[in-house]
Amino acid sequence: MSRIVRSRSVLAVQNLAVSTRYYVDVLGFTRDPIDAAGWSFLSKDDFHVMLGECANERPASDTGDHSYFVHLLVDALDEYYREVAARGALIISPPADKPWGLREFSLRTPDGHRMTCGAPLQ
């Protein structure tokens, strides 16, 4: 039986250099050893993303609710929040306990893609 061994989210960004710096310097991602013009391949732990430069496309921020692209389960959620907030993350909502049994915070990228990070309530 076949199985998926890795996945990557693929996001269109308007300025590849700006977006790559945000993922690396603010969110703590590292560059993967893949070189392709117009693309950044990035990872943080088991999460992988490809940023593709699409300078003439409508930015994700213009898509409203459709700019949400990922929910990540994170251990040490409050610690990760403090780290990224201190490095200038674009926070939408700080950590809060949710009625669905998770503690979550949300942020956005320079292009307006939204991410939510969560952890099960203790």
What's 51's domain CATH number? 3.10.180.10
Q: Considering the domain boundaries, does residue 61 fall inside one?
A: no
**Structural domain of residue 98, as residue ranges?**
9-56+66-120
Q: Considering the domain boundaries, does residue 38 fall inside one?
A: yes
Q: Considering the domain boundaries, does residue 39 fall inside one?
A: yes
Q: Considering the domain boundaries, does residue 98 fall inside one?
A: yes
Q: Considering the domain boundaries, does residue 16 fall inside one?
A: yes
pLDDT of 57-99, one tens digit each? 888 888 887 888 899 999 999 999 999 999 999 999 999 999 9
Q: Considering the domain boundaries, does residue 77 fall inside one?
A: yes
User: Which residues share a beta bridge with 52?
Assistant: 12, 39
What is the reported pLDDT for 68? Answer: 85
Contact 6, 48 (CB under 8 A): yes
- Residue matched to tokens 């969560």: 118
Structural domains in the chain (count): 1
What is the reported pLDDT for 6? Answer: 85
Q: Considering the domain boundaries, does residue 42 fall inside one?
A: yes
Contact 23, 49 (CB under 8 A): yes
What is the reported pLDDT for 117? Answer: 96
Counting Cα atoms < 13 Å in the Cβ hemisphere of 7 gives: 4
Q: Considering the domain boundaries, does residue 4 fall inside one?
A: no
